[in-house]
Amino acid sequence: MADSPSVGPLFGARLDGVPVVLPSGVPLVYLADVLVHPLAGAAPRVCGLMQMQGLPLVVLDPTGKASSPVARRLSVLVVGEPGEGAALRVDEPPSPIAVAGPRPDAPRPVCVFAAALERPVADALDPDRIWWHVVPARLFALLAAATAATGTGAD
């Protein structure tokens, strides 16, 4: 039943081109223009740190294009409570989605965070588009551990 649109509105976003269903019941905040400070020596997918409600948050980039030696303004999606979650660099805000039935036969996307994806579902308007539910803690860990822009992680 968790995949049914009647449960409540679902929102989706693309992470490195992969359509993901954003977790319901987890605080989500889209910020269109936030200052991100670089972290020297950080992993390739770590953009740096931002502040939200006076607390630092790590900003991760699913594309692996995170590296910058200077502070810059980015659009981010904060997932989780400030101080406990993290922020993801995004190109556009999340949008409402409608999903159809489960698609357990869907091929898993080839991406550094594939292990954070589960329960694929078909898009209600385009059955060829597959949305993947994402486990935020696993997603953050995989992105932070990625060893190179195209790497799959240190494990």
- All residue ranges of the chain with pLDDT < 70 are 1-8, 66, 147-155
Structural domain count, the chain? 1
In a domain, 153, yes or no: no
Cα separation, 125 vs 108, in Å, equals 21
In a domain, 152, yes or no: no
Residue type for position 140: F
In a domain, 60, yes or no: yes
pLDDT of residue 120: 98
Q: How many residues in the chain?
A: 155
Residue type for position 85: G
In a domain, 122, yes or no: yes
This prediction's pTM: 0.81
In a domain, 44, yes or no: yes
pLDDT of residue 59: 94
Which two tokens mark 64? 């692996």
Q: Which domain holds residue 39?
A: 5-145
- Name the nearest CA neighbour of 66 among 38, 90, 45: 45
Cα separation, 86 vs 99, in Å, equals 26
In a domain, 115, yes or no: yes
In a domain, 136, yes or no: yes
pLDDT of residue 148: 54
The string of DSSP codes covering the chain is -TT-GGGS-EEEEEETTEEEEPPTTS-EEEEEEEEEB--TT--TTEEEEEEETTEEEEEE-TTS----SS-EEEEEEEESSTTTSEEEE-SS--EEE-EEEE-TTSPPP-STTGGGEEEEEEESS-TT-EEEEE-HHHHHHHHHH--STT-----
CA atoms 143, 144, 147, 153: torsion sign: negative
In a domain, 70, yes or no: yes
